[in-house]
Amino acid sequence: MKIPLLLILNLAVVLLSISVGSSHYGFDEVYQILQGIADETTKAIILDYRLPRLILAMIVGASLSASGCSLQALFRNPLAEPYVLGIASGASMGAILSVILGFGVFGRILLAFFSAIMTAYLVFFIGSTRKFRDQSYAILLAGIAIASFLSGLNSLLLYLHSQSLHLVIFWLMGSFSNPQWEEVYFSLPFLIIGLSFLLATSWNLNALLLGDEHAKAVGINVDRYRAELIFFTSLLTSTAVAVSGVIGFVGIIIPHTVRLLIGEEHRQLLPATILLSTAFMPLVDVFARISSSGEIPVGAITAILGGPFFLYLLMRRGL
């Protein structure tokens, strides 16, 4: 899969996402906005609603898919994905607390983000204890355990504060239904920082796939790089969850689709994964907008797509 083709696909998806919705706009309306001569209603719908929604979908898709691709190399496990470290459960707890406390949109984003980062730190702290022989495996198991604990805690919070349930349940299912430019401004810098690190060190992921001993032999400080990799993937994932809610399986679907087409070389795999995800997630969002009279949660669609894909990987690899 060539980069130019993915760029053309992204351009087509951008035009589709901006044009399609309850009101349909053609290229003429988009061109009028670029010229500054569009009417106020058209400007409001495209610039204040569809454009931030499109950008958020691209940010979330790139964050989750790049994190998934990196974590699969780190854990040497094709089924690893961003939420395996319990980050989604941590962000969900922050979001639920923000609703209970009556915080606004920005307060929800910040609390979800920081609770996710703290969860990632706790998982890494427990899993990297020296008494564990296999650090990557221990971190994986610690993430699963903490995610289970936090999921139960989130259910308890929802039960005890059922009056706030309707405000948070749609967020927990994953959605871009209420896009805010503040969310774009918040998440874009973290996306740039996280992706820059992953792309700059993508060769190291190839070495990790061959085992810690091989990585050390080619000069990689495995312990330090593992910590850095978990930090930046946690940064990306927590940012995505904070602004969009829980959208699962993107970190499995996209990396493996690209991997089947171009192989395991991460200097090619990672950029292609990012570009496919920035087309895939807005496409899913368009489907969520137009497939019913209301709006289907994006997380529900990715779960429906991801479940069969997950089973396909299991059967294909004989895991």
* d(C-alpha 176, C-alpha 60), whole Å: 10
Q: DSSP string of the chain?
A: --HHHHHHHHHHHHHHHHH-SSS---HHHHHHHHHT-S-HHHHHHIIIIIHHHHHHHHHHHHHHHHHHHHHHHHHT-TT--GGGGSHHHHHHHHHHHHHHTT--HHHHHHHHHHHHHHHHHHHHHHHT-TT-S-HHHHHHHHHHHHHHHHHHHHHHHHHHTGGGHHHHHHHHT---SS--HHHHHHHHHHHHHHHHHHHHTHHHHHHHHT-HHHHHHTT--HHHHHHHHHHHHHHHHHHHHHHH----SHHHHHHHHHHHHH-S-HHHHHHHHHHHHHHHHHHHHHHHHHSSSS---HHHHHHHHHHHHHHHHHHHHT-
- Given this model, what pLDDT does residue 110 score? 84
Residue 19 has which token pair?
């044009």
Query: Which domains, and CATH codes, for the chain?
Result: 3-317 (1.10.3470.10)
Give me the pLDDT at residue 160, please. Answer: 80
Tokens of 43: 């400007």
Segments of the chain with pLDDT less than 70: 1, 21-39, 130, 132-136, 162-167, 314, 317-319
Global pTM reads 0.87
So what's the pLDDT on residue 278? 97
d(CA 249, CA 80): 10
Q: Give the pLDDT confidence of 141-191 residue by residue, as tens digits.
A: 888 899 889 989 988 888 887 665 666 777 777 888 888 898 899 899 999
pLDDT value at position 133?
64
Per-residue pLDDT of 246-261, as tens digits, reads: 898 898 889 988 988 8
**127 and 138 Cβ atoms separated by less than 8 Å:** yes
